[in-house]
Homo-oligomer: A and B are copies of this chain.
Amino acid sequence: MSGALRYDKYAHEPFAVTVDLAVLTLRAGALHVLLVERGQEPYAGRWALPGGFLLPDESAESAARRELAEETGLADVSGLRLDQLRTYSEPGRDPRMRVVSVAFTALLPDAPEAHGGGDAARARWVPYDDARELAFDHDRILADARTRIGDRLENTPAATAFCPPEFTLGELQQVYEAVWGTPLDRPNFRRKVLAVPGFVAPVPGGARLTGGRGKPAALYRAGPAATLHPPLLRPQREGRTT
């Protein structure tokens, strides 16, 4: 380590600060996560969440947005919503030195194929269940991200972030089913979604025809609500003591 920082009357060791991103999308009805292949030690050749170091004059949110653009080549990063997940600071989570990492979640509609860029040797969308044995403590970060997203689906319109600008209620239901891992009753789901003011709004005149196999579904857009009242609670989670 290089010199200690002088601050008040203490001498403080410096820390490296990074961001990690759990970027989730839905492909073919299954939850996928964006991973990059590490090019160097430690964990060379292992898959990891995209991320990187904070620059001297940017916030963690800015760094997360920059890294996302650099490592994935996504175009519309500016309009994308990033949510802080939590911060991981255990000593030893990076074998080389003290690294404190601020983790974020981001949700995308069905994704353009990612092309690795920046530090990442390669970038790929991986089915959530196949994303195991990641570098560092990224297994845990990813699990925390899924838990958090599942909770947010109950109280916020976050599910619409997985959908294109115009979507059917069937697509929205697929989001809930994929994230919660539970099948839902279609008529009841529709009734509850439409009962929440500001969750979704029908697009003025349209229905979707050519693609569908059955009766064409009505199209909706995300509504103005920031929170869902009443919430869309998951089916019976029993009271876990854990």
Contact = CB atoms under 8 A, between A and B. Distances in A.
Given A1-B5, A100-B102, 8 more contacts: A7-B16, A15-B15, A17-B89, A59-B90, A60-B89, A86-B87, A225-B240, A227-B239
A54 interface: yes
A240 B224 CA distance: 9
B14 A5 contact: yes
Contacts of A7: 16, 53, 96-97
Contacts of A112: none
A91 B63 CA distance: 12
A214 B12 CA distance: 56
Given A14-B15, A15-B15, A197-B239, A40 B8 contact: yes
A241 B198 contact: yes
A40 B238 CA distance: 51
Contacts of A16: 5, 7, 12, 14-15
B226 A196 contact: no
Interface in A222-240: 224-231, 233, 236-240
A102 B196 CA distance: 35
Question: Which label, helix, strand, loop or mixed, suits the secondary structure of the A interface?
Answer: loop
Contacts of A113: none
Interface string A32-74: 0000000010000000000001111111110000000000000
Interface in A144-175: none
Contacts of A226: 240-242
